[in-house]
A = this chain, B = another copy of it.
């Protein structure tokens, strides 16, 4: 009999879930539209019924728990409150809703904390007790692990590195303030930087859909604007990471998410500037690494890891 858990990644558009074993093998994976359900109870019922069907098709197993990664997820309460990307407003108690269909423990946290736990259970942080994972996607999230425990803080919302202000009166952020790291190191931030640099170099904006992959390909071709885009992103990120190290002194910082596909174009400047801004007592103490969780199943495995 095999121990398994279910990992659910709730996104604004789609929800992906997977059935995973202790080794990080994803035995089954499926998705459903989050956006299609205006009533959250209908959404949870549809999702639960789909999961139960999938479980019936499995051979001998023992379901140990369910882990959920969700925007604005609060580990303490099992709830999601006013997530900007979800259509259900107010406070949604997902753990209670799922416990109507499953009698196993249901744990919920935000996406970045789920990624941190994924890194501990399935990734490159198996032997590391103090680390930070920074998720560079549409937004910038972060999960902090202190002495082997995820840092939730008094409110349950600790780890909002993406919303530390790194430039007073900087770019306007979706949170209503200015100069958050998110506006420089997220996909949107990278694109803004690229457009700024094109202007600065008097270059015409190419007539294509500009995303981080496009900018990466341009960098590969030797485009100065593209290469400088990642250098600037790395500088802003390195600055924020050096300040983070001064506070929590991690052994490693993992970068996770689409933008990390830019590889050395991003990691080299990020490391260079992080060390440049770093207080000398921490010099050489911190590794900057890519996440070790396979990208294809990362979100689901992160959520699944929460259940172990």
Residues of A with Cβ closer than 8 Å to B? 72, 129-130, 144, 146-147, 149, 151-161, 163-165, 167-168, 175-177, 239, 242-244, 246-251, 277, 279-282, 285-286
Expressed in whole angstroms, the minimum distance between the Cβ of A226 and any Cβ of chain B is 24
Cβ contact within 8 Å between B152 and A249: yes
**Cross-chain contact B151 with A246 (CB below 8 angstroms):** no
Query: Which one of A72, A158, A239, A244 has the highest number of Cβ atoms from chain B below 10 Å of its Cβ?
Result: A158
A-side interface mostly: loop
In the assembly, what is the distance between CA of A168 and CA of B249, in Å? 21
Assess whether B243 is in contact with A153, with CB atoms less than 8 Å apart: no
Q: Is the CB of B177 within 8 A of A279?
A: yes
CB distance from A243 to the nearest CB of B (A): 4
Interface contact A243-B279, CB-CB below 8 Å: no
A sample of 14 inter-chain contacts (CB < 8 A) reads: A130-B154, A146-B153, A154-B249, A154-B251, A157-B249, A157-B281, A160-B247, A163-B246, A164-B247, A165-B242, A167-B168, A175-B280, A176-B280, A177-B279
Residue of B nearest to A281 (CB): B157
What number of copies of this chain does the assembly contain? 2
CB distance from A162 to the nearest CB of B (A): 8
Asked whether B151 lies within 8 Å of A146 as measured between CB atoms, the reply is yes
- Is B165 touching A285 in the complex (CB atoms < 8 A)? no
Report yes or no: A248 in contact with B153, Cβ–Cβ below 8 A. Answer: yes
B158 and A285 form a contact (CB under 8 A) = no
Q: Which residues of B contact A72 (CB under 8 A)?
A: 281
